[in-house]
Each structure stands twice: as C-alpha cells, then as structure tokens.
Structure 1
Amino acid sequence: MLTGMPAESPRRTQEQRRTTTGAALLAAAAELVVESGVRAVTLARVGERAGYSRGIVTHHFGSKQALLDALAKASQGGFVPGIGDVPPGLDRLVLLIEGYVRELGRDGVNGRAFLLLWAEAATAAELSGTFRERDEAFRAELSGDVEAGLRDGTMRADLVPRDVAVAVLGQVRGIGLQRLLDPDAVDTERLSGAVAGQWRRALCAEAGADGEVRS
C-alpha cells in the first residue's frame, strides 16, 4: 500500500459546477454595474469578466433581463445578518433598520450594485418589474413586523403597517443612495443607531408625549 500520496479531491457534481459558475457570473455582473452602470452590462462582457464565454452566460440565464433579475435577488438576499431567529415585532423591526443602515457602510459590491440597479429601475423598463416585486416583498416583511407589534401591544395602536413599511423602505434606501453619491457625508456606523432609536421612539406604545420610551 502506497503512503504519503495526496488524497484525490472528490470530483464536483454537475450541480456544484453550475452553482460555482453562476456565482462567478453574478459577481462579474455586479462589478460591471458598479464600475460602469447597468447599460454597460452585456452577456459578452459578463462572460469575459468572469473568464467564461458568452455562450455559458446565455446557457445559465438566457438573456440580460434574466441575468439582472437574478442579480437583484442575489444581491439583496440576506443583506442584514443575524435577524433570522428574531420573532416578528418591534425588536426585530428596529434590529433590521439598524442592521440595514450599518451594512450600507460595508461598501460591498453586491450592495452597491443593488442600490444602483434600484435607482435605475425608475426609468429602465427591463428593471422596473423586478424591483417592484422585490420592494413589495420587503414592504410585506416590514408590515409583518408592525402587525406583530400591534398584536402584542408593543407598538402604538394608531399605526398603519403599510405606511410604516413605505416610510422605512424609503429612508433606508435613501440613506444608501446618499452614501453612494457622497460616502464621506454619511457615517453609517453612527447613523445606524440613531435611525433605529428614532424608529423605536416613533413606534413604541410606551413612548411618552416627548417621544421618550418609558421603562
């Protein structure tokens, strides 16, 4: 029996290879969006950036539309870590807001690409449907937290869940766009706690007339 020979690494399955290739293509697309904007993204340029042929990109996504749809979903998924096990309600909503603003300061390529695509969606027909769907899912998540807070009595009874969701989404995305435009003007580490505290005071059922939360 031979000893000292390196063990052969198991061959990757077709699904593993496909997953790895797809992730590389999405990473390349995100880099192109950040560097040159969505109009610079083509299947050929994505393939070239990732080290593959255009045919591989077409095989994976079929079209630029499908590629951008996949990028939008991948770049926003799991954006705020650490809240998956927190039950819906006031605490989860405040943690989500705080975490979202803090993550905006990480300057990750995926996060920046998402914000640029989101801003572009206002005038780009190929993006508007995808981002309407993504925003509606986010608003539903936020509304669910408010509804839970109303049920358990931790949030003010006069709140309208949908209105709170629209306002929260608008604020956190607006902060993100400001940071893209002028990073030095937006201290997300400090701002994350301030914004989260403002929302807790605004939503909490125990807040007094001066907006302070009573223990």
Structure 2
Amino acid sequence: MTTARRTQQERRDLAENALLTAAAELVAEQGVRSLTLARVGERAGYSRGLVTHHFGSKQGLVEHLARSAQSGFVPGLGDLPPGLDRLLRLIDGYIAALGSMNLRNKVFLMLWAESATLPELVPIFHERAEVFLADLREDLTAGIADGTVHPGVAPEETAIAVFGQLRGIGLQRLLDPGLVDTERLRGPVTAHWHRALTRHSS
C-alpha cells in the first residue's frame, strides 16, 4: 500500500511539473493573456480537466507558476541564519542567477512586469513581494542585533531599496540581456551594499 501511494504521488508531481512547464512555455511565447487551461493541457499532453484538478483556475495556475519560479531562485540560503552574510549572499546569488535565467525565472519576471497592466496579477505579486521583503527585513534586523549592520540602518526602507534594485536589474536583463553583464555587476553591487550596511559606513 505504501509503495502504491508513493507511486501515485510521484505521478501527481510529474504531471504538475509538466503542466507548470507548459504554462511557462506559453507565457514566454505569447504572454499571460493568451494562457488558457485548455492550451496548457494540450501542450503538456494532458486534458484540461487535469489542469483544473491541479490548479482550479487560470488564476490558481498563475499563482503556482509564480511561487514555483521564485522559490529556490538563490539556492542554499535556507541553511544560513538571518543576518548580513545571508543578505549579501542573496544579493550576489540573485544577480548571478539572472545571468543563467531559466524558463520559470524568466516567466516570473515577465508576469511581474505584466502585473502593471493586469489587475488580476496584482495580488499574486503583492504576496510575492511581501515574502521577499520580509526575508530582507529579517536579515537587516538580525544584522543590527548582532552588530554587523550599522544601527542607523532602517530595515523597512533599506529592504525596499534592495528589493527594487534587484527586481530592476532583473527586468533590465529581461528586456536587454546584452546590456546587463551579471558577472561584472554582481561584485560591485554586493560590495556597495556591504559598505552601505556595515558599522563603518558614514
């Protein structure tokens, strides 16, 4: 019985991953406006009914796609305690990841950009932004507490500044990849934030 249940879960996970990949491909090719459950099912080799079973609606599908793309964008951070080191690794790793942007990361940025003109996407990306900002605030607050971040740093405003810069670099990378050399950029950006946040900053 245990083996049968595990096999069923594996089949479910395989189908869900295939559907999310199909959805990402369609968004990358034609934008979110052209996305339908029927087209996703057809692209993945499944029925529309299975797409509905997994995600409920187009909105639910886009939410899952956004979450799956953002989670794990910078691997290895989950093993680090909150603080300055984790924050700097996030900044460096985020820019590095933009250099080898995979399909779902690219689609996440495309959906984020489209949320400016599609109200139905706003709640999804408001939630995703809050998760990102909460992590940044946690690192800044922990850094202030342990003395590695200057006590004059304002966690809320600084988190928004870091968030805005990283997302802005990502959007520019999406729009004009040749302009953004991530390997050259990651060092100076990370060093800038290290200087700005440490106790030695003026």
Of 12-21 and 166-175, more deviation after overlay is shown by 12-21
Per the TM alignment, residue 107 of structure 1 is displaced from its structure 2 partner at its CA by 2.2
1:82 alignment partner, one of 70, 76, 83: 76
Which secondary structure does the structure 2 equivalent of 1:79 belong to?
coil
Distance 1:82 1:66 in 2: 28
Which secondary structure does the structure 2 equivalent of 1:17 belong to?
helix
One-letter amino acid of the structure 2 residue matched with residue 36 of structure 1: Q
1:59 paired with 2:53, answer: yes
Aligned to 2:147: 153
One-letter amino acid of the structure 2 residue matched with residue 126 of structure 1: E
Match runs of 1:8-157 below 5 Å = 13-157=7-151
The total of aligned residue pairs comes to: 199
One-letter amino acid of the structure 1 residue matched with residue 62 of structure 2: L
RMSD: 1.2
One-letter amino acid of the structure 2 residue matched with residue 101 of structure 1: I
Q: What is the TM-score normalised by the length of structure 1?
A: 0.89
Match runs of 1:161-176 below 5 Å = 161-176=155-170
Per the TM alignment, residue 82 of structure 1 is displaced from its structure 2 partner at its CA by 2.0
Offset from partner CA, 1:106-138 (integer Å, 9 cap, x none): 120010000011111122122110110110011
Hey, which of these two has a bigger chunk of helix by percent?
Answer: 2
One-letter amino acid of the structure 1 residue matched with residue 20 of structure 2: L
One-letter amino acid of the structure 2 residue matched with residue 145 of structure 1: D
Distance 1:188 1:76 in 2: 18
Per the TM alignment, residue 19 of structure 1 is displaced from its structure 2 partner at its CA by 1.0
Q: What is the TM-score normalised by the length of structure 2?
A: 0.95
Distance 1:44 1:81 in 2: 33
Distance 1:95 1:176 in 2: 16
Query: Structure 1, unaligned stretches of length 5 or more?
Result: 1-9, 210-215
Distance 1:204 1:91 in 2: 11
Distance 1:51 1:125 in 2: 30
